[in-house]
Amino acid sequence: MEQKGKILVVDDNEDILFALNLLLKPLVEDVRVTKNPEQIDRLYDLLQPDVVLLDMNFRRDAISGEEGFEWLEHILHHDAQAVVILMTAYADTDKAVRAMKSGATDFITKPWNNSKLLATLFAGIELSRERRKRRLLEQRMEVVASPFGAIAAPVIIGESPVMQRVLQTVAQVASTDANVLILGENGTGKDVIARQIAALSARASNPFVSIDLGSVPELLFESELFGYEKGAFTDARKAKAGRMETANGGTLFLDEIGNLPLSLQAKLLAALERREISRLGSTQMTPIDVRYLCATNADIHTEVAEGRFREDLFYRINTIEITIPPLRERGEDIILLAEHFLTVYAHKYNKKVATLNRDARQRLLRHTWPGNVRELMHTIERAVLLAKGTVLCAQDFVLNDSTRRASQTQTLNLERLEQEAIERAMQIAGGNVTRAAELLGITRFALYRKLNK
């Protein structure tokens, strides 16, 4: 049977937990068990389960089930789309009806019939996957109206601690008018973060204008940024507003600002400081009210220190600085993003590809992703296009591992290689020792020994 779904089991009876873990482990992608309901939030965020199998009776009493209803409400408050199946040894019709009305997906009794239990769980997994697909489709359709063209309210997927810190900063600065400098490698999603800031700002209903400064020829820089009047040069047959003027009242995203030559940096700085521009061929100054978001993949601090980027312009554009981590440092976000792109491209190309098997997930987690999220997106798109079944396997992905191999051959010291492998596995697993041990192909206890060493 194809393994699918992740299940979190919460029950204060260790024998029940042992039996369910033994039953489910060979049949699902991952199963976690806990006898302490206080651990639900932590395990839920770590595992992102498709189904929560929740006992109804814990410490308070043995039969009322009130604690189960309270924890059901707690889980649904944590995630309104959660699929929760309640279980109890003290079932009655009224309790089952109340469970359904309270938001539970299903209700099973102990002792259970294995076949019926598995059928209920797999139905819950399918429901969870359908809810996730529907939620992603709804999110992709959300836009913020803009006279210049709708500002997409982007889907930012990231539950790793490093991405949560980025999103927290985004939420804090979006409502201000502060200029923001977004740093990160190619493909990490700097433009997505810029659009998110714009979509959450007070300027969301006003224009969002983007320009890639690294691709603008020096001779066209002023006309692109400031605009021109009719007759300003040979081909200027009619007047045209520049990007700054078009963005007036809204947000201007200056992408790849680190590639801007020094001569053009001075012109940009003058416009930012004056807050007014003059079209080519005109003597009239036009006031502009623009919020600037800038991005670069360059080591801009080094560029400033070595005189290749103006220090005064640097301080002008980075009131707030946000660094987006590379995908290789985001652990299980890789799988969340892969599943998102899988849903997107399966819908786009009308393919019935629904999930990734375990080998596929491990293949994606082990890759170093030098092209970051953009590389992952194209990898999933290609796999979906060429898929022959409903499940993507490891061999469906064409990945160039030369970067990873090159970095690993820099040293042949076995102890150092082992240390790097353990560090990488712990990073991917988000600190979860059991998951890291699986990635390394050793037992949890062996990994504990190596970590202590």
SS3 call for 238: coil
* Residues 58 and 176 occupy one common structural domain: no
For residue 411, pLDDT beyond 70: no
- Element of type H or E holding 174: helix 161-174
* Residues 205 and 64 occupy one common structural domain: no
Residue 92 sits at φ, ψ, to 5 deg, of -150, 170
The span from the CA of 81 to the CA of 103, in Å, is 10
Identify the weakest region by mean pLDDT among 37-51, 116-130, 151-165, 318-332: 151-165
Residue 108 placed within a domain: yes
Mean pLDDT of the chain: 82
Q: What is the pLDDT of residue 311?
A: 93
Strand partners, 240: 228
For residue 3, pLDDT beyond 80: no
Q: What is the pLDDT of residue 53?
A: 93
For residue 25, pLDDT beyond 60: yes
Residue 210 placed within a domain: yes
Residue 255 placed within a domain: yes
Residue 144 placed within a domain: no
Residue 50 placed within a domain: yes
Q: What is the pLDDT of residue 412?
A: 56
Yes or no: say if 95 and 88 are a contact pair by the CB < 8 Å rule: yes
The tens digit of pLDDT for each residue in 167-196 reads 999 989 998 999 999 999 989 999 999 999
The span from the CA of 170 to the CA of 303, in Å, is 25
Which of 110, 139, 168 corresponds to the end of one domain? Answer: 139
Residue 146 placed within a domain: no
Q: What is the CATH number of the domain that holds 41?
A: 3.40.50.2300
The span from the CA of 195 to the CA of 199, in Å, is 6
Token pair of 34, please? 């806990």
* Residues 316 and 335 occupy one common structural domain: no
| Concatenated DSSP letters of 257-313 | GGG--HHHHHHHHHHHHHTEE--BT----EE---EEEEEESS-HHHHHHTTSS-HHH
Yes or no: say if 342 and 353 are a contact pair by the CB < 8 Å rule: yes
Q: How many CB atoms lie within 10 A of CB 116?
A: 11
The tens digit of pLDDT for each residue in 111-123 reads 888 888 888 898 8
Q: What is the pLDDT of residue 384?
A: 92
User: What angle separates helix 66-78 from helix 93-101, to the nearest 10 degrees?
Assistant: 20
Which of 325, 352, 384 corresponds to the end of one domain? Answer: 325
* Residues 164 and 308 occupy one common structural domain: yes
| Nearest by Cα to 183 from 291, 305, 318 | 318
The span from the CA of 408 to the CA of 404, in Å, is 6
* Residues 254 and 287 occupy one common structural domain: yes
Q: What is the CATH number of the domain that holds 270?
A: 3.40.50.300
- Category of 64 on φ-ψ map: left (φ > 0), alpha (ψ -120 to 50) or beta: alpha
* Residues 205 and 243 occupy one common structural domain: yes
If pLDDT is split at 50, 70 and 90, which confidence band does 8 have? very high
- In angstroms, how far is CA 267 from the centroid of its own chain? 36
Indicate the residue type of 170. V
Yes or no: say if 80 and 103 are a contact pair by the CB < 8 Å rule: no
Q: What is the pLDDT of residue 134?
A: 62
Mean local confidence (pLDDT), 405-415: 52
The tens digit of pLDDT for each residue in 353-369 reads 888 898 899 999 999 99
If pLDDT is split at 50, 70 and 90, which confidence band does 147 have? very low
Which of 89, 114, 139 corresponds to the end of one domain? Answer: 139
Q: How many CB atoms lie within 10 A of CB 46?
A: 18
Q: What is the pLDDT of residue 63?
A: 57
For residue 166, pLDDT beyond 80: yes
Residue 1 placed within a domain: no
The span from the CA of 286 to the CA of 292, in Å, is 17
* Residues 112 and 158 occupy one common structural domain: no
* Residues 314 and 373 occupy one common structural domain: no
| Nearest by Cα to 210 from 179, 255, 248 | 255
* Residues 175 and 107 occupy one common structural domain: no
Residue 129 placed within a domain: yes
Percent of the chain's residues with pLDDT above 70: 85
Whether the predicted model's global pTM rises above the 0.85 cut: no
* Residues 261 and 370 occupy one common structural domain: no
* Residues 313 and 446 occupy one common structural domain: no
* Residues 337 and 313 occupy one common structural domain: no
Q: What is the CATH number of the domain that holds 372?
A: 1.10.8.60
Q: Let me know if 58 is exposed, middle or buried by CB neighbors in 10 A (0-12, 13-18, 19+).
A: buried
Q: Which DSSP symbol is given to 402?
A: H
Long-range contacts of 68-74 (CB under 8 A, 24+ apart): 69/98, 69/99, 69/102, 71/10, 71/37, 71/40, 72/99, 72/102, 72/103, 72/104, 73/102, 73/103, 74/40
For residue 12, pLDDT beyond 80: yes
SS3 call for 102: coil
Number of domains in the chain: 3
The tens digit of pLDDT for each residue in 291-337 reads 999 999 989 999 999 999 999 999 999 999 999 999 999 988 999 99
Q: Could you tell me the residue range of the domain that residue 199 belongs to?
A: 151-325
Q: What is the pLDDT of residue 9?
A: 94
For residue 198, pLDDT beyond 50: yes
